[in-house]
Amino acid sequence: MHSMIQKTFAVLLTIAGIAVPTQSASHEPVKEQAIPTPILTQTIPAALKTFSLSSKKAAKDLNSSNISMNLATKGSEHSLPTYTTWLSPTASVVNIRTQPSTDTPVLKEAHAGESYPVISQKGSWYEVAVSPHQTGWIAGWVANTQSFHAADSLGTILNKDNVPLFAGPGNEFKMIRRLSKNTIVQPLFVSGDYVKVLDQQEQSGWIPIDSANFGKETVDSLWFADAATPVQASPDGLLAGKTIVIDPGHGGKDTGAIGKIQPIDEKDINLAVAKVLQQKLLAAGAHVIMTRTTDVFVSLADRVKISNENHADAFISIHQNMYPDNPQMHGTMTYYYESQQSHILAHDIEEQALKQFSFDKSNDTANLRTGVNNDELYVLHHNTQPATLVEGLFLSNPKELADSVTTDYQEKMADSIYKGVVQFLLK
């Protein structure tokens, strides 16, 4: 039914004189070129949100022939049908984005052979479940829909041998053990270049995301009983007892800077980096407070208030830069205001960023902007806690603009900040 609809849609587009993009095996398939809103809209059956099982016995009952899984949607429980709609890439690699637009950050890459359950459709985009905690968006012109048995749920099969299972999202965290090739695990949360998983011994940890394929194997439904557990701070981590406020700059009606070559909003990049940083700090044991977790407007005064009232050990405001007069300008900069502790915090983060991004100062000193700057910015001037504002990259620079939506940038920027915070707090 769904494939017939897609074929009908393609025919209609051809009749209307609209070129239908062909699939490519490139890393960025057909660059997700925009196509008109579909003439024919497909109705998506059965929303698939968060799996919620009350007990292990209930989970085991799901292995019977009459499969019935509970899911929580807006506070009510519904029954998932035996068959539901899933989406599979038609190119070797496609992007799963945070929102239904090519101008928004990439959450992760999807590969040929993987399948993701469809939740909803908006225009030419499909919302899919990446894990029991997360959803993302795939462009309909680089994927096909089909029906799968409900038991073929979000399993992740390891495609490499000796995959390290880390205590946190990064190789700087303790390695718990190694997992062998073809091990099946349950994905819990994607963050930058890592994914948190639950193994068959019900032990959770983080693995490099490029070592796993999604949706390829059936996962024992027992694992879903633990998958809904919220992410919490590690009680014995490096930063246990420390309070960190992460401030994703702008939000809501305040877009921040907007890319000119591609209309990318700074607010979206800031939030994507902040969420990756949040997972690293939680894994290190910190109490993490986000000034926003969604696309909402938060006043500067409220951001500062959150920091001061919670006696933050560090306040980090995440931003991206813009200088339209010189599109070659690039680099990472940090800011502080007066306070010696804030100066040290900003310096430590800048130091780590310079290591992470390896800017070549010898060839392009005229256009490179790095360093620690004293500036009377509101969130710094009115903050009584150690505070810094980080300008990650220049959205006015074509290359850095393209980099801004990638998981590679999110991972590197978040890792720089994380390592800088650790360096600052453990002195």
Which neighbouring-strand residues pair with 95? 109
Rounded CA separation 263/329 (Å): 18
Examine the pLDDT at 77 and tell me if it is beyond 50. no
What does the alpha-carbon distance between residue 360 and residue 416 come to, in Å, rounded to a whole number? 17
Query: Is the model more confident about 427 or about 410?
Result: 410
The per-residue pLDDT for 9 is 34
pLDDT for residue 30: 42
| pLDDT, mean of residues 136-147 | 92
Q: pLDDT tens for residues 354-381? A: 999 977 665 667 788 999 999 999 999 9
Give the three-state DSSP class for 220: coil
Judged against a pLDDT cut of 60, whether residue 124 lies above it is answered with yes
pLDDT at site 203 = 84
- The per-residue pLDDT for 147 is 74
pLDDT level of residue 13 (50, 70, 90 thresholds) = very low
Higher pLDDT, 358 or 279: 279
The superfamily (CATH) of domain 156-214 is: SH3 Domains (2.30.30.40)
Options 3.40.50.720, 2.40.40.20, 3.40.50.12160, 3.40.630.40; CATH for 243-425 is: 3.40.630.40
**Distant-in-sequence, close-in-space partners of 39: CB < 8 Å, separation ≥ 6:** 9, 12, 13, 16
Q: Given 3-state DSSP classes, what are the helix, strand and coil percentages for the chain, each rounded to the nearest 5?
A: 25, 30, 45
Q: Which tokens in the block code for residue 303?
A: 């951001």
Fold of domain 2-149: SH3 type barrels. (2.30.30)
pLDDT at 23: 34
pLDDT classification of 27: cutoffs 50, 70, 90: very low
Q: Same topology for domains 2-149 and 156-214, yes or no?
A: yes
4-18, 151-165, 224-238 — which one is most confidently predicted on average? 151-165
* 305: amino acid identity, one letter: K
**Residue closest to 164 by CA, chosen among 185, 134, 146:** 185
Neighbours of 77 (CB within 10 A): 9
pLDDT band at 21, cuts 50/70/90? very low
Q: State the amino acid at position 253 in one-letter form.
A: K
Buried b (16+ CB within 10 A) or exposed e, 295-331: beebebeebbebbeeeebbbbbbbbbbbbeeebebbb
Flag the least confident range among 139-153, 268-282, 411-425: 139-153
State the pLDDT at residue 25: 31
Task: Specify the pLDDT at position 83.
Answer: 46
If you average pLDDT over every residue of the chain, what do you get? 79
Q: Which of 62-76, 104-118, 266-280 has the highest mean pLDDT?
A: 266-280
Whether 172 shows a pLDDT value over 90: the answer reads: yes
Segments making up each domain of the chain, as ranges = 2-149, 156-214, 243-425
